[in-house]
Amino acid sequence: MSVTLQVRAPFSGWSSALAEIPDEVFARAMLGEGAAIDPTGNELRAPCDGELISVAAARHAVAVRAPCGAEILVHVGVDTVALAGEGFTLHARTGEQVKAGDLLMSFDLDLLANRARSLVSPVIVTNGERFSVARLRIDRAVASGDVLFELEPVGVVDASSRTAALAAISESVIVRHAHGIHARPAALIARLAKTLPELEIRAHGRTADPRSTMALMSLGVRGGDELIIVGFSAEAARSVAEIAALIRGLEPGAPAPRAAAVPTVPNPSPANPRRPRGIVASRGFAVGRAQLLDDEPEVEERGRGVAAESAALELARNSVRKRLEERARNADGLVRELMAAHIELLDDPQLLETARRGLLAGASAGFAWRASLAESAQALAATGDERLRERAADLTDLTRQVLRALAGEGAESAAIAPGSILIARDLTPSRLIDDATRLGGIALMASGPTSHVAILAATLGVPMLVGVGEALRAVVPGTEVILDAEAGTLAVAPDAVELAAARARSADERTQAARAAGQAQQPCRLASGERIEVFANLAGSAADTRFAVAQGAEGCGLLRTEFLFLDRRTAPDEAEQRRCYQDISDALGARPLVIRTLDVGGDKPIPYLPLPPEENPALGLRGVRTSLWRPELLDVQLRALLAVRPAVRILLPMITDSAEIALVGRRLDEWCRAAGVARPQLGAMIETPAAAMLADQIARAVDFVSIGSNDLAQYGLAMDRGHAELAARIDGLHPAVLRLIAATTRGAAVHDRPVAVCGGLASDPQAVPLLLGLGVTELSVVPSFIPRLKALIRGLRLEDCRALARRALDLATAAEVRALVQEEMP
């Protein structure tokens, strides 16, 4: 065969086979064949002439497409995506034409050596169906620019070329979703595609089956990217158009909601490995012995034959599906949603097809299943998108569940000792659900504060740090550790004095928690006597509502109705909405119920409501603007709300000025007259600086206002909550945000309107005295935080809170505000 391309070493170092890389996906060439280099230089240069087609968001990987069509990926080190770009400097942009040897990137070799799992870097061809690797130069020192290997054509037309000849219809779409095709948009597309004839989606020179969530996410499509939807018959035109309309309707995503907003803690390389820092995912404090988690069953690589291994895999998947369905039936809220997502992935066509190819190659059922999910997880990580990287944990969870089913019912993992601090690289949601009642706390090397397991830990009240890093590898099982998921630290093997103090603090906090729980049902008042209402934020079922009431909720301050509208092909009708709202009202009894009208946008696209393309959707059709754009959906919701007994309070999201309230108010009055009922209380959410500045005018038009502190901080500081480098800097205690809250309470006071906070700031203990001092009289939080919040409020005096708030408004930064609160009210 003739040589098609010489691929050159992108940096100097020692070359080796891919098998030397300490990562199964690269070592087994799941992403492509090639070679590895342990770099000695700090510059990455182009391995060939061509176009720079991809730069990972974390800047740790680049891909070049040569004129012959070969796509060469250079991935610097292993697990370097977790550095989120730290230590990498780009010198070229996606789309540029480059020559072999051009400087593409430089990196801090010392930083990577200390922070990455390994520096050994794969250089691979990712479209190996068209090219084979020949004449590898490995097990030797190479200089940057030396030929590393050669590529030869394999004589097989690639899938995209073959299907292009057959394609009868295609349509190009620019993805306007700011975060591209990540988990939720991919799931929506896959759900629709499963009902349509065979289609194909192409992007970045690669193709994907749109019925597979994993395949779609693995394309790495971002906002502004172009993709092409292809059908293979004249009858496919309608199907292509449906998928295109859905993609055009996707709005930009926001990060997954957390059960409670907590300040993120930077995770620098720790100077003291016995004091690693992490990101607070679930607040709390715990002392216990470290228990390391590694319970994935061993699997044999070779199988007993395709028929036997296929049957075993099918049986194991059925067993897992049955267990997931049983859990879903007996669970509420988030747990039920997670189980549904896992069932969907269990039958994902791409995952199954990859596993079947492994079985045909002679692998065992366990080995083929694990390899298939590992390949998809690695593809998600390679996109550099933090949300997609965290979604890979769901694949790890499914891997573990199926492998345990293959090993038999007796293959249970080692029991968790009560009160243990679980140490692991990552943790699956199913494992947390199994062990939550026994755990003292959790510290993870990886994961993130928006992952499913983080949200679940906060819901279950298990203290957890994530992103602690490689320092956890040095923790010896059985070592005493102190997990401070308030300050974001883990103390390993503390001395006797520190350990005694921590145990005393832990015992004191348990006593306080028990006392708070015992008093949670009592009305909440400040030490100075003023009444403060403590409500619950809800987003789901009557069972979730009953749990909130049991925690001491005095009502629901925010019922998010989006849960009824998402992940379905058609909108819920009036009867379905009325039944759901009434069930929640019945669970609350006579307690107040504030229901927010449909708030779509961000990470909540709706397939039956395709929004028009926008240059900046975050500033476009969101909240009440969408309801006024499509008033038929609003009318159905208003009629359903008016039928609930006792009467609910209606809250309008993303209000800008009183004119929007007047428009909704007129429609509400019409339906009240038609139903013969009195107009219910109407409220407005203050989520934009404009609304805060016009709070006096808005308060005149409504009965109450509620501050959405998450969006108010985002818009007030002009920082996207979904931006990987800015999200950690968004702090609702920034003086600018506090001044917007102060403007809101002053404006509302002109008309004697109550002010609530239903955003994450209400769950931040350092924020509570400031909010009360600024004039907030109602806080609505996640149910599990209610007893603690009530106990905190009962220890405060209003005059002290007002004095503290006055001082905070004159400070310059959020850090200064937090230091002030810590000093005055530790």
Query: What's the half-sphere exposure (Cβ side, CA atoms, 13 Å) at 716?
Result: 28
In angstroms, the CA 263 to CA 713 distance is 13
184: nearest Cα among 371, 349, 394, 464:
394
- Across the range 721-727, mean pLDDT stands at 53
Query: What's the half-sphere exposure (Cβ side, CA atoms, 13 Å) at 91?
Result: 13
pLDDT at 270 (0 to 100)? 38
Contact (CB, 8 A) for 92 and 104: yes
Considering only the top CATH level, what class is 525-604+618-796?
Answer: alpha beta
Query: What's the half-sphere exposure (Cβ side, CA atoms, 13 Å) at 209?
Result: 14
Q: How far is CA 204 from CA 53, 63, 65, in A?
A: 7, 10, 10
* pLDDT above 90 as % of the chain: 37
Query: In this predicted model, what pLDDT tens digit does every residue of 689-700 receive, in sequence order?
Result: 999 999 999 999
pLDDT at 24 (0 to 100)? 67
- Across the range 73-97, mean pLDDT stands at 83
Total H helices, total E strands in the chain: 28, 33
Query: In this predicted model, what pLDDT tens digit does every residue of 700-723 receive, in sequence order?
Result: 999 999 999 988 998 999 876 555
pLDDT at 613 (0 to 100)? 58
- Across the range 248-260, mean pLDDT stands at 43
Of the ranges 18-22, 317-321, 454-458, 794-798, the best mean pLDDT one: 794-798
pLDDT at 617 (0 to 100)? 59
H or E, element range at 746: helix 735-750
pLDDT band at 93 (very low <50, low <70, confident <90, very high): confident
CATH architecture of 258-295+413-495: 3-Layer(bba) Sandwich (3.50)
Of 162-176, 311-325, 731-745, 758-772, which gets the smallest average pLDDT?
162-176
Query: In this predicted model, what pLDDT tens digit does every residue of 217-240 receive, in sequence order?
Result: 767 777 667 788 888 776 777 888
Of 13-17, 555-559, 637-641, 716-720, which gets the smallest average pLDDT?
716-720
pLDDT at 250 (0 to 100)? 62
Contact (CB, 8 A) for 526 and 772: yes
> Using CA of residue 252, residue 258, residue 264, residue 266, what is the dihedral sign?
negative
Structure token digits, residue 424: 């692991």
Contact (CB, 8 A) for 475 and 500: no
pLDDT at 283 (0 to 100)? 81
3-state secondary structure of 564: helix
Active site residue: 342, 452, 556, 580, which one? Answer: 452
pLDDT over 60 at 413, yes or no:
no
Query: In this predicted model, what pLDDT tens digit does every residue of 344-388 receive, in sequence order?
Result: 778 888 888 888 888 998 989 989 988 888 877 776 665 555 555
pLDDT over 90 at 746, yes or no:
yes
Structure token digits, residue 617: 């959707």
Give the single-character DSSP code of 785.
G
- Give domain limits for the chain: 5-153, 159-248, 258-295+413-495, 306-407, 525-604+618-796
In angstroms, the CA 166 to CA 233 distance is 8
* Average pLDDT, rounded, for the chain: 82
Of 116-120, 129-133, 633-637, which gets the smallest average pLDDT?
129-133
Active site residue 177: no
Higher local confidence (pLDDT), 531 or 241:
531
pLDDT at 214 (0 to 100)? 63
Say if residue 567 is exposed, middle or buried (CB neighbours under 10 Å; 0-12, 13-18, 19+).
middle
pLDDT over 70 at 761, yes or no:
yes
pLDDT at 23 (0 to 100)? 75
pLDDT over 50 at 258, yes or no:
no
CATH code linked to domain 306-407: 1.10.274.10
Considering only the top CATH level, what class is 159-248?
Answer: alpha beta
- Across the range 267-272, mean pLDDT stands at 41
pLDDT at 208 (0 to 100)? 81
pLDDT at 326 (0 to 100)? 79
> Using CA of residue 782, residue 784, residue 790, residue 796, what is the dihedral sign?
negative
Q: How far is CA 647 from CA 366, 579, 703, 723, in A?
A: 55, 14, 14, 40
pLDDT over 50 at 271, yes or no:
no
Query: In this predicted model, what pLDDT tens digit does every residue of 137-179 receive, in sequence order?
Result: 998 999 999 999 999 887 544 444 434 334 457 777 877 665 5
Between helices 183-193 and 237-248, what is the axis angle to 10°?
A: 160
Query: In this predicted model, what pLDDT tens digit does every residue of 512-561 receive, in sequence order?
Result: 888 888 889 999 999 999 999 999 998 777 878 888 999 999 999 999 89
Structure token digits, residue 160: 């995209």
Contact (CB, 8 A) for 151 and 136: no
In angstroms, the CA 561 to CA 563 distance is 5
pLDDT at 267 (0 to 100)? 39
CB atoms within 10 A of CB 200: 21
In angstroms, the CA 145 to CA 13 distance is 11
* pLDDT above 70 as % of the chain: 83
Higher local confidence (pLDDT), 672 or 205:
672
pLDDT at 695 (0 to 100)? 97
pLDDT over 80 at 4, yes or no:
no
Active site residue 758: yes
Of the ranges 268-272, 320-324, 690-694, the best mean pLDDT one: 690-694
Of 260-264, 755-759, 806-810, which gets the smallest average pLDDT?
260-264
- Across the range 17-27, mean pLDDT stands at 79
In angstroms, the CA 416 to CA 295 distance is 11
Q: What is the DSSP string of 192-228?
A: HHTTSS-EEEEETTEEE-TT-HHHHHHT---TT-EEE
pLDDT at 256 (0 to 100)? 33
In angstroms, the CA 705 to CA 756 distance is 6
Strand order in the sheet with 103-107: 43-45, 103-107, 88-90
Question: Which residues have C-beta within 8 Å of that of residue 169, sequence separation ≥ 6?
Answer: 230, 231, 233, 234, 236, 237, 240
First and final C-alpha spacing in the chain:
74
Say whether pTM exceeds 0.75.
no
Pairing of strands 147-153, 103-107: unpaired
H-type alpha helices, 572-630: 574-588, 624-629
Active site residue: 48, 524, 556, 758, which one? Answer: 758
Of 408-412, 507-511, 640-644, 698-702, which gets the smallest average pLDDT?
408-412
Contact (CB, 8 A) for 806 and 785: no
In angstroms, the CA 184 to CA 390 distance is 13
Fold of 5-153: Glucose Permease (Domain IIA) (2.70.70)
- Across the range 182-205, mean pLDDT stands at 76
